């Protein structure tokens, strides 16, 4: 992490809590968690490569920078949003609650130096997840919110446990061209990926693609392959992203923008891991697990699959350490999701009883 964000320990801890969003009651569930954590006994991980980190945050805990021309991005080091200044006001793309009121501060900073309006008139939602749109209500009622029809449907179910997220006023099913103040943004839905409603936000006049929670530039995917709901759709989403014309990539996460090179490294990581999982399925012998646990099928399956994911993850962790940050943290959990998808979506290793 950057020195300035390290200084802001309180917001860093709040951010960590927001990302993992583990309810405090988890601690009560098992004896292993009953003892408070101690920094002395927590595991060590490989150092983060410098290439994973972005620009230093300001004392308020954010960084705002130009992507291209009048398109800007804001980060708190973990989450990202973007905004477009136009002659008729500002179009905001996502409103992560961890950035919160710093979104308007970042917009004010840019608008005053560019001498344009700082008034947010439109908010585009990438998808319905509260960690990306949970601060939308800060911008009041007189804002046009734009999102996929499924985003509206999913937001209408809740959230009941956090700040209300105003529903999109304008929805679309497959494509929508948003025109504001002489600017053009192309929104498209290409099928389910990270969530059923996650959209592609293309800025054809700014050489930029925003696609959230797929490629997190410089970093291994978050726990369990970014908790992607549709694994094959998420893998395809990266190929679809490559069919667009762009130079700058806004992934919704971590401290920097992405490049086409980042996308290539991410895709290689995923395909290497899938190949390694296929080898693990063949190489890890299930016999000892079933011999030990007898009729406790779940114990046998769990320990067998833990052995498969560990076998699959080991060479990938070795290959990508120093290339992608935190591969030693999350590759095994991503391997588990990919293993399940290979089995359940692709039918790998599936045999019909004779």
Binding site for Zn ion (CB under 5 A): 129, 213
Other CB atoms within 10 A of residue 274 CB: 19
**How far apart are CB 17 and Zn ion at their closest, in Å?**
17
- For residue 199, the minimal CB distance to Zn ion (Å) is 12
Cβ neighbours of residue 40 under 8 Å, at least 6 residues apart?
none
Distance in Å, CB of 121 to Zn ion, minimum: 25
Nearer to Zn ion, 70 or 226 (CB): 226
Minimum distance from residue 200 beta carbon to Zn ion (Å): 14
Residue closer to Zn ion (CB basis): 194 or 248: 194
Shortest Å, Cβ 318 to Zn ion: 29
Is the CB of 195 or the CB of 208 nearer to Zn ion?
Answer: 195
Residue whose C-beta lies closest to Zn ion: 129
Q: How far is the CB of 129 from Zn ion (least distance, A)?
A: 3
Comparing CB distances to Zn ion, the nearer of 234 and 276 is: 234
In the bound state with Zn ion, the residue whose beta carbon lies nearer, of 204 and 224, is 224
Q: Looking at beta carbons only, is 132 or 256 nearer to Zn ion?
A: 132
């Amino acid at each position: 992490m950057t020195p300035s964000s390290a200084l802001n320990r309180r917001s860093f801890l709040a951010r960590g809590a927001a990302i993992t969003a583990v309810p405090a009651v988890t601690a009560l569930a098992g004896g292993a968690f009953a003892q408070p954590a101690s920094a002395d006994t927590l595991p060590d991980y490989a150092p983060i490569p410098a290439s994973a980190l972005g620009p230093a945050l300001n004392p308020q805990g954010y960084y705002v920078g130009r992507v291209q021309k009048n398109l800007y991005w804001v980060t708190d080091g973990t989450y990202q949003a973007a905004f477009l200044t136009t002659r008729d006001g500002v179009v905001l793309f996502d409103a992560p609650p961890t950035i919160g009121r710093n979104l308007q501060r970042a917009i004010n900073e840019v608008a005053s130096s560019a001498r344009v309006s700082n008034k947010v008139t439109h908010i585009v939602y990438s998808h319905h997840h509260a960690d990306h749109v949970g601060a939308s209500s800060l911008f009041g009622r007189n804002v046009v919110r734009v999102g996929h029809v499924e985003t509206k449907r999913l937001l209408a179910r809740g959230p009941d446990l956090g700040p209300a997220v105003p529903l999109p006023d304008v929805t679309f099913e497959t494509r929508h061209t948003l025109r504001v103040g002489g600017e053009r943004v192309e929104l498209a839905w290409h099928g389910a990926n990270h969530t059923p409603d996650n959209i592609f936000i293309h800025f054809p006049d700014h050489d930029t693609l925003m696609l959230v929670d797929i490629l997190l530039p410089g970093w291994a995917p978050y726990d369990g392959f970014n908790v992607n709901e549709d694994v094959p759709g998420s893998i395809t989403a990266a190929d679809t992203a490559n069919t667009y014309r762009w130079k700058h990539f806004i992934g919704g996460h971590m401290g920097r923008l992405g490049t086409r090179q980042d996308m290539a490294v991410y895709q290689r990581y995923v395909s290497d891991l899938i190949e390694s999982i296929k080898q693990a399925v063949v190489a890890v012998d299930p016999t000892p697990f079933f011999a030990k646990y007898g009729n406790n099928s779940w114990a046998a399956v769990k320990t067998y699959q833990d052995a498969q994911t560990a076998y699959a993850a080991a060479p990938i962790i070795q290959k990508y350490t120093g290339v992608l940050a935190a591969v030693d943290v999350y590759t095994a959990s991503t391997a588990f999701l990919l293993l399940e998808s290979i089995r359940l979506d692709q039918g790998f290793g599936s045999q019909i009883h004779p």
